[in-house]
Structure 1
Amino acid sequence: MASSSMTISPRKLHSDLYSYSYQENSSTPLVINVLASLIERTMARTKRIVKNGSWSLSKAISTNIFDCSEIPDMTIQSYLERIFRYTRAGPSVFVVAYVYIDRFCQNNPGFRINARNVHRLLITTIMVASKYVEDMNYKNSYFGRVGGLTTNELNKLEVEFLFMMGFKLHVNLSVFDSYCCHLEREVSIGGGYHIERALRCAQEIKAKHGEDMGYTQISRVML
């Protein structure tokens, strides 16, 4: 993972979110560094909760569907970079994925992000976010290969995720903007990172999908 001492200037990240180029040789979106830093901090809080919490909470954390049998030998930063490298998902996809992660944790208070479930949660949320944001998408089988899962495993994770989310996947302009602001405040405190408002990306999402966007388009590309 990138060192927390590395500073991403607001102006540079602002330009990345507003004017990101989807060319084949595009550099990794800066939001990946920010998201990796934030998730690492969340996982550190999880460790403290497990250490100081009750047995029932620890059990709830260790028995969810996103748990893998062996912890992947890959940092959050490297995993996110791998997903970007092979899917070319843009900055807005990663922001929407973070919205989904936050909603998922709010809807399922017994769930805590940890080293055993974080990779599967990330590939699932990024895949669903990509289906929501992008016009063209890879199939689940391809996302599975990118994330180190079989097609069947990722299909099951997606279905479980959707039901645990109550199929509430719509992210409107104001929600997108509020999460950009939230990420800016959080990461500026924790690691020197900043996310500026990305209204252009949010407006593109709104224009493409409309206020009443459901999961119809996602269902079409799901295996």
Structure 2
Amino acid sequence: MANVFSDLGSDEYKAIPRILSVVSSLLERKVARNERLIVPCQKKLSRENLGVFSALQVPAMNIEKYLERIFKYARCSPSVFVVAYVYIDRLIFHIPGFHLTSLNVHRLVLTSVMVATKFLDGFHYNNDHFAKVGGLKLAKLNNLEVEFLFMLRFRLHVTASGFESYCTYFHQIEVALGGGVQIEKALLCFSKTETDNSSRQLEEA
């Protein structure tokens, strides 16, 4: 039986986990909805008013390919992409007027994955590496990270139950998309203990 999250062995970064296609599908749907219903009502807004994450033009690479590139070259664990999605969801929910668009979604994805990797994974690359992977200058990514953390109010903790809820949601979306892939939660390498340890490490830092 195929898994959205699989045990990654010696060829761990050759196979693209199915969770990336689910996350990218959800993000693309949010962007499409916002640009259909919200953005047309905000035509008077300048790019400067749209936020620090907005690019000058829409990147040529779609979200799914961008996520795959990050996974391949930043060597993030699949669980990181769940946590990164949780962070983006928090921004949307807690910040009035904040919307995902085709101009900001790539930078938000890169920043959220980078922050989630630092929070969750034992091994992670530095900002310079992520900047190269994401196609940004280091200074720009550093600024985005600081802005992102303040927007989240440094609330990076994700409980085990919250993580599991998102996994269940992703599974439902996968089934709706016709994939029928069963998420094996036992392979997520994510536990409340690990999360608490990460929170303590962050506070100590």
Could you tell me the TM-score, scaled by structure 1's length?
Answer: 0.80
CA distance in 1, matches of 2:137, 2:106: 14
Going from structure 1 to structure 2, the CA distance change for 1:195 and 1:43 (only over 3 Å counts) comes to: farther
- Asked if the contact 2:127/2:141 (under 8 Å) is kept, the reply is yes
Judge conservation of contact 2:20–2:67 (CA < 8 Å) in 1. yes
* Alignment deviations for residues 32-67 of structure 1 (CA, whole Å, 9 cap, x no partner): 1111111111111111223564557x6699621100
Helix, strand or coil: the match of 1:192?
coil
Give the aligned partner of residue 168 of structure 1. 155
RMSD between superposed Cα atoms in Å: 2.7
Residue among 180, 186, 190 paired with 1:200:
186
Q: TM-score, normalised by structure 2?
A: 0.86
Structure 1 counterpart of 2:26: 38
Partner of 1:4: none
Equivalent position amino acid for 1:156 in 2: N
Segments of 5+ residues of structure 2 without an aligned counterpart are none
Q: Secondary structure of the equivalent of 1:19?
A: coil
Structure 1, unaligned stretches of length 5 or more?
1-10
What's the offset of the Cα at 1:204? 3.1
Match of 1:29 among 11, 17, 32: 17
Deviation at 1:20, TM superposition (A): 3.7
Deviation at 1:181, TM superposition (A): 1.6
Letter in 2 for 1:127: M
Alpha-carbon distance between aligned partners in 2 of 1:95 and 1:23, rounded to the nearest angstrom: 21
Corresponding residue of 2:103: 116
The answer to whether the 8 A contact 2:75-2:124 is kept is: no
- Name the amino acid aligned to 2:100: I
Give how far 1:178 is off.
0.7
Query: After the TM superposition, which residues 94-173 of structure 1 pair with which residues of structure 2 at under 5 Å, given as runs?
Result: 94-173=81-160
